Structure 1
Amino acid sequence: MSATRAPRRRAGAVAALLLAIGAVALWGASRLTWVTVTSSDGLGEDRVTTLVGGTWAAALTPLALTLLAAVAASFAVRGWALRILAVLVAVVAVAAAVPAVGLLAGGADDATAARIAELPARAEVTSLTVAAGPAVLALAGAVAALAAAVQLWRTPRAEAGLSSKYDSPAARREATARRDTADESVTERTLWDALDAGEDPTVDVADDPAADRGGEGGADDSGTRRTGR
């Protein structure tokens, strides 16, 4: 049991670390200047407007918060819910990468910059300065999030999630039955789970005299042979 839990815990820790890195990278990128717009309205001096990542790509901050929430969720869910979480994280990664790739590959155009900067209609964009660093940081965060999604997807579904101490009594009884069927080695955790399930882990069913009581031709505590009725 402990041999299978160790890889699962390592996988969960790696996924949580990657999610945290992705969230920090996206949040940092949302606070840095992506585009500097210089405009002129013909009435005065040129106007310089700086557009941070949270303005140029407004989804960066919500996506960073989503990755932070996924850190907690990665420890709380298991089974198919973990697969769904992996898909959602992958979608977040793609959504975060799109504006960064667009800016790095195609740059910024005057019309988009004027619209995002909310320039007046008479203003004309005279120059644009694109900062590649913040976009690269956002792209790195997206890559980290995508790697976390892959890690979550590869985490064993049966072993993912919180410790068994958070399971319901019915789930513990089912897990105990599975362990008995698989003839796994007894650990302290399995002993406690068996006690919680209302079973005596120190008594083997095959050797338990009480298992034969009440049946046809069973024996009571006095050793007297009983006949079925």
Structure 2
Amino acid sequence: MSEPEQNDAGTDGADAAVDTVAPRRKYPVGAIVLLALAAAVLWGSSRLTWVTVASTDGLTEPRTDHLNGGVWFGALTPLALVLLAAIAAVLATRGWLRRMFGVLIGLVAAVTAVPAFALLTKSGATAARAATLAELPGRATVTEVVTAPFPAVLALVGALAAFSAGVLLARMPQDAAQLSGKYDNPVFRRAAATEEVTQRRTEEAAAGANSASGQLSERVLWDALDAGTDPTEEAGALSDDQGKRAD
């Protein structure tokens, strides 16, 4: 078996060992489900009729315009797409960056809830807004405005789901997992493993210990070996080797 094939076999063995031995970290499954639900609900709400406006201009037949959520609140569909895209961002991040995404998602949810809340509470100039969005001529008179509560409630449910997802992400612990390490770039994994081994050796040398291998995970050990670094090498030998390389 060639050396690359041996390295690949060793890496696969390390992956299997880590999957078996390493403790499983918590994935933001709840937040992802809530984001998907919020995106679907908001998109559905944008397709439903929020306001029906009847008007007449005295010259033509009376007209009736049905304004759906995408017209009544133009940002509703884009915000649904933003929440859908946020799922990929959540999976690709962790730590403070993921918590920052949680805060941003909470802000998006708050913005989404405003038009629906205003419509349900009948606050604001609904008739004037309906006439503007229906593009009625200046001589037209609005004779009736009918609001549909269900699409607005649906939008509020989506906003609440998105806000809950944002809260979960903002409170996510530091060690919550991101995409599985199996799919990380091996070059970066090996470089990170070598750096971690070197750092542990330095710390252990300062503490008077002989080696740091016992404190490293099996994934780090295998990645370090693949990178050509011996995790069991003593700190003194490492210093000598680094000195020779410097010379």
Partner of 2:164: 147
SS in 2 for 1:205: coil
Question: Which of 68, 72, 78 is the equivalent residue of 1:62?
Answer: 78
User: How many angstroms apart in 1 are the aligned matches of 2:173 and 2:103?
Assistant: 15
Aligned ranges 1:32-181 → 2 under 5 Å: 32-106=48-122, 109-165=126-182, 166=184, 168=188, 169-176=190-197, 177=199
The 5 A counterparts of 1:195-210 are 195-201=225-231, 204-206=232-234
**CA-based RMSD:** 2.8
Read off the aligned partner of 1:190 and give its amino acid letter.
V
Structure 1 unmatched runs, 5+: 216-229
Indicate if the aligned counterparts of 2:193 and 2:221 stay in contact, CA closer than 8 A. no
Q: Which segments of 5 or more consecutive residues in structure 2 lack a partner in the other structure?
A: 1-20, 202-210, 242-247
Deviation at 1:57, TM superposition (A): 0.4
Which has a greater percent of helix? 2
Cα 1:135–1:178, aligned 2, differ >3 Å: closer, same or farther? farther
Task: Determine which of 222, 231, 235 is the counterpart of 1:192.
Answer: 222
SS of structure 1 residue aligned to 2:51: strand
Identical amino acids, percent of aligned pairs:
50
Q: Which moved more, 1:82-91 or 1:26-35?
A: 82-91
Q: In the TM superposition, what is the alpha-carbon distance from 1:212 to its structure 2 partner?
A: 8.4
- Contact 1:164/1:172 (<8 A) preserved: no
CA distance change for structure 1 residues 111 and 75 in 2, over 3 Å: closer, same or farther?
Answer: same
Aligned length: 206
Structure 1 SS opposite 2:54: strand
Amino acid at match of 1:13: V
TM-score, with normalisation over the residues of structure 1?
A: 0.78
- Checking the alignment, whether the CA contact within 8 Å between 1:34 and 1:130 is kept in structure 2 is yes
Q: Is the 8 A contact 1:27 1:61 kept in 2?
A: yes
**Cα–Cα, structure 1 residues 175 and 115, in superposed 2: closer, same or farther, change >3 Å?**
farther
Kindly indicate whether the alpha-carbon contact (under 8 Å) linking 1:54 and 1:61 is maintained by their aligned counterparts in 2: yes
Aligned to 2:36: 20
CA distance change for structure 1 residues 67 and 193 in 2, over 3 Å: closer, same or farther? Answer: same
Deviations 1:47-89 (A, max 9, x none): 1000000000000000000001100111111232212211221
Cα distance in 1 for partners of 2:164, 2:149 equals 22
